[in-house]
Every structure is written in structure tokens, then in C-alpha cells.
Amino acid sequence: MVGGSIAAVGSRYAIVLRAANAGTGDTLVEEQAEAGSKEQVLSALGKAAAALRGKLGESLSSVEKFDTPLQEATTSSLDALKAYALGFAQWSKGDPAGAIPLLRRAIELDPDFASAYAALGRAYQVMAGTETGEAAKGAIRKAYALRNRASERERLYISANYYQFAVCQIEQAIQVCELWKRTYPRDFAPHHWEAFGSGATAGNAGLSTRRGRLAVAALPCPSCT
């Protein structure tokens, strides 16, 4: 589990990233950085994250391969990133309704923030209403259109979400998850998708058993059932 803080110290910003044991909360490694201005915070944060990954044992070749600048992988707006982080925190607490206005604020601050659209789509999905279902599809489609402005892992997530929920192409979603597992073998997320997704194709005898293994974390697309 990774957390940290960004604090203004005069005209400069102090950045601290910590990786902690999710079970005990004990700090495993820590990385500190400093930015000379608000505009330099994201660049400094990205460098600190790369250094933290190295301390956690990731190989130099892997760090370099997946070292997309934070401004390109997320957003160039620190305020948008803050709104996104607050929205994601609400989502993690099981409060999608509370997450939605924060994620929408992030998008207002940066209309090209792919990850914010993806998170907004998921938040709308679990609200389970007809109107929110259409809003979810719209946000997921927008995230997919902007997927090249996300990290590689986030692009895989966005693509799986798009094929599963926006266009109901289950086989394509499974293929994305297989690529996701090969690219990030220690990532639990694609396994989670496959482990809990039998309901995605329930009642549709025309879909294969393999399709039914795709895991989902929200309601299936109505046209898939």
C-alpha cells in the first residue's frame, strides 16, 4: 500500500511517499523529494515514485519501461489530481455518490483526464439506475478515447472496462485481461475480474463458459444478459 503527503514549505513543496505493509501498516520504504514550485510538483512526484519502485525491488529495466511521466499518465493539473485522489478515496470507502462530484470536478479542471473519466464511469455503474447507467457508458467511452493519456496499466483497465460495459464485447475484455496478467503478473486486479464475473453472462446460453469467467465489479451491461 502506497501513501504519502505533499506539503507547502514557504514557496517550495516537500513530497513524501511511503510504501507500507497493508496488513500491519508498518512502513517498508520511504522516498522524499522537493519541488521548487507548484508547477514542478507532479514531475518531482513522478521521480519519487520511480525511486520508490526501485527500493521495493522492481528491476531498473522494468522501472524504465513503465516510467511514463506522471503528467502524461494522469494529468498536468495538480488541482485535478487532488480532486481525483479525494474522489477515489470516497470510492474506496464505499461511497460512490460522494465520489462522483469530486471526479467531475477533476474532469472540469482537466477535460482530458482519462483516469478520472474511468473512475467516474465505475462510480456511476454501481449506482445502478437507468440514467446513471447511461452516464457510466458515456464516461467509460470517453476514458477509452483518451486512454493514450494514461499509464500502461491504466490503459489495460480502461480497455477491459470499455469492452465489458460500454460495448459488451466479452471476448475482447477477456483478451485484455490476459494481456494484463502477462504484463503485470503480480497485479491482482485482472484475476479479480475473472474470479467474480460469472454473473456477467448469466442466462445467456449463447456465450461460452470461458466468457462467463470474466470478473466484474459492478452490474453487467443489460444487453449482455
Q: Please provide the DSSP assignment of 28-89 as one string.
A: EEEEEEEESSGGGHHHHHHHHHHHHHHHTT--HHHHHHT---HHHHT-S-HHHHHHHHHHHH
Q: In the CATH hierarchy, which top-level class contains the domain 74-150?
A: mainly alpha
Q: Answer yes or no: are the C-beta atoms of 49 and 69 closer than 8 Å.
A: no
| Burial category of 21 from C-beta neighbours within 10 Å (exposed 0-12, middle 13-18, buried 19 and up) | exposed
pLDDT of residue 55: 73
pLDDT tens sequence for the chain (225 residues): 567 778 888 888 888 878 777 677 777 788 888 888 877 777 777 777 778 777 777 666 665 555 555 555 578 888 898 899 899 889 888 899 999 999 999 999 999 999 999 999 989 988 866 567 889 999 999 999 999 988 888 999 999 999 988 998 988 988 998 999 898 887 888 877 665 543 344 444 444 444 444 444 333 444 444
pLDDT of residue 117: 96
pLDDT of residue 225: 42
pLDDT of residue 47: 77
Domain ranges of the chain: 2-67, 74-150, 168-225
Q: Rounded distance, CA 223 to CA 206, Å?
A: 13
pLDDT of residue 218: 34
Q: Rounded distance, CA 1 to CA 22, Å?
A: 5
Q: Rounded distance, CA 129 to CA 131, Å?
A: 6
Nearest to 175 by CA among 93, 198, 162, 166: 162
Helix (H, G, I), strand (E, B) or coil at 137: helix
Pairing of strands 27-35, 2-9: unpaired
